[in-house]
Amino acid sequence: MLAAARRAQRRAHAPYSGFRVGCAIEAADGEVFTGCNVENASYGLTICAERAAACAAVVAGQRQFRRVVVVTSATTPTPPCGACRQFLAEFGTRVRVESVSAGGRRAWSLARLLPYGFGREHL
């Protein structure tokens, strides 16, 4: 998964921030999907690597994820942004999230990263 996330990171489109992110998501059946961040001059339209990978999984018919691996060049492990946490929570909060950076590796459960997420029970 780490190698897949790094390959995706190399393909990131980050001309504004220079912050290239790659992500690999493992579905419940073990299939792996990747994504990278795609920045836009209209910053709000930027797509994060985690959401790109999750969308690729959904297109393939996957709806349950086991693990998310995020790769950056930051000096400390970088968890997914709030929008990505909420997006991933749509598919369950028992997901293990791992971040690998130039400064090390860290892991969390998605439930820990988003303790009070908004879900269908709130509708």
C-alpha–C-alpha distance, residues 96 and 91, integer Å? 12
Decide if 50 is catalytic: yes
Catalytic pick from 26, 50, 90, 98?
A: 50
* Residue bearing tokens 């910053």: 43
C-alpha–C-alpha distance, residues 47 and 52, integer Å? 7
CA distances from 22 to 1, 73, 120, 121, 123 (A): 11, 10, 29, 31, 32
Q: Provide the annotated active-site residues.
A: 50
